[in-house]
A = this chain, B = another copy of it.
């Protein structure tokens, strides 16, 4: 058995049974071995950022790592931004990065680079397999490391792949999140009893399922603690029947207002909030200076168990307060960001997976979908734009029986547009709402927010992507994805209904700017 075969069999035995791949010469034996190991599904992408973002989306929906197959340092580099998002979302990913054969490494061939250092910038675990007999065990270790909620990168020399003498390793032992100690629960219960204003900030595993949210809601009903969700949850199960939880807002001034007066901030699966960027004269965090921070559970721990324990102690017998099913009325006329949100709220299918890279265009979207049928919401965890379309690929591969809806801003869509081709190739049931505002709108706000003077013509040109206007209908069609253009609410609603009804991918370009 050669190294590639042992690697793939080990991965499959450990539950890693899909590989988002962008192979090159050094990965040819891995590719060939796919024919020997039918349990592994290879999904081709046309750019590594699609492969890594798809792995992110797949793992968010399955809870298990997917593999990526990347070509040397430059391939890993192309995939780095979405690995950053995975790292920030604590998503498990197993990267297999092909490298030169061991004898070739010292020759400094054109594609030679420091793969290991590069991998270290996004990975919680990095190993270079040194011999074919190690590859099985190394792969099992990679899966184990990824399972802790991190990116694991296995660097695989080409000759380790092609050499015989490798063996399959058994799957790593099962692992589950540690339960936070009882004294933290006691401390938080005391805080809740203090009568002072408390915010309970939910994140990570708590938002990814129902039970933690329901327990938190029961606590809130009994104690008056205010619930907030972290700003960019990796996965958020929400909709009718679950509590209506507001998000901590992104803009620093709004986030500070949201937490003003809070005396105690309790974290359940979330990290202490900080602003996305530093701004002149603004504190780095929205947490008031006189607010104490209490950790009920850290992101890697079992926050659901901690919230259940808290509910037992601080709100015995209390019931959660679920939101009733409701949908906004369809508006009419011109498309605005809020009108798009209302259309989404009105039409969101049952059991949808929503991938949210709407950036500035998602006005009111949380509120307008809070009573929609139960759905999952995936956010841009690390701020590295270009995760939306790739994550949708991964989510759709993970959940072939569920509709995937991508809320996609135009500027960030252009980062990884190649994902559309994989949607067409695999006939994934993905609907893309492409918000076309013709600009890096967020940066126009940020330019003002950082207090940059000027904002003159030359600066403005670097924030304007409307000249020439991007025709996303043509771009999508060019990759094999059927696409339409909507300029009114009625057109958008009609086109979305069609997209939701028909199998396979669709893109709707929602034109938000005034006709020129």
A→B interface (CB under 8 Å): 21, 23-26, 28-29, 31-36, 38, 42, 44, 46-47, 49, 73-75, 77-78, 80-81, 84, 88, 100-101, 103-104, 107-111, 113-114, 117-118, 120-122, 158-159, 162, 232, 271, 274-280, 284-285, 381-384, 386, 411, 414-415, 417-418, 421, 424-425, 442-443, 446-447, 449-459, 461-465, 467-475, 477-480
Q: Are A284 and B232 in contact (CB under 8 A)?
A: no
Q: What are 11 pairs between A and B in contact, CB < 8 Å?
A: A23-B443, A23-B463, A24-B443, A31-B462, A46-B411, A84-B113, A111-B277, A111-B382, A162-B452, A421-B470, A475-B479
Residue of B whose beta carbon sits closest to that of A455: B32
Contact A425 B34 (CB under 8 A): no
- Contact in complex: A452, B29 (CB < 8 Å): yes
Name A157's closest neighbour in chain B (CB-CB). B278
Number of copies: 2
* Interface pair A278/B384, CB less than 8 Å apart: no
Q: How far is the CB of A153 from chain B (nearest CB, A)?
A: 14
CA A110 – CA B231 in complex, angstroms?
Answer: 10
Contacts of A35 in B (CB 8 A): 454-459
Are A42 and B278 within 8 A (Cβ)? no
Given contacts A33-B454, A104-B277, A121-B73, contact A462 B25 (CB under 8 A): no
Q: Which residue in B26, B443, B459 is a CB contact (below 8 Å) of A25?
A: B443
Q: Sorted from nearest, which 3 A-B pairs have the closest CB atoms?
A: A468-B480, A104-B278, A77-B80
Among A36, A81, A120, A279, which residue has the most Cβ atoms of chain B within 10 A?
A81
- For A113, what are the chain B residues with a Cβ–Cβ distance below 8 Å? 84, 121-122
Q: How distant is A36 from chain B, measured CB to nearest CB, in Å?
A: 7
B425 touches A467 (CB 8 A): yes
Cα distance A42–B472 in the bound complex, in angstroms: 25
A84 to B78, CA, bound (A): 11
Contact, CB under 8 Å: A111 / B383: yes
Give A321 Cβ to nearest chain B Cβ, in Å: 30
Measured CA separation A462–B8 after assembly (Å):
15
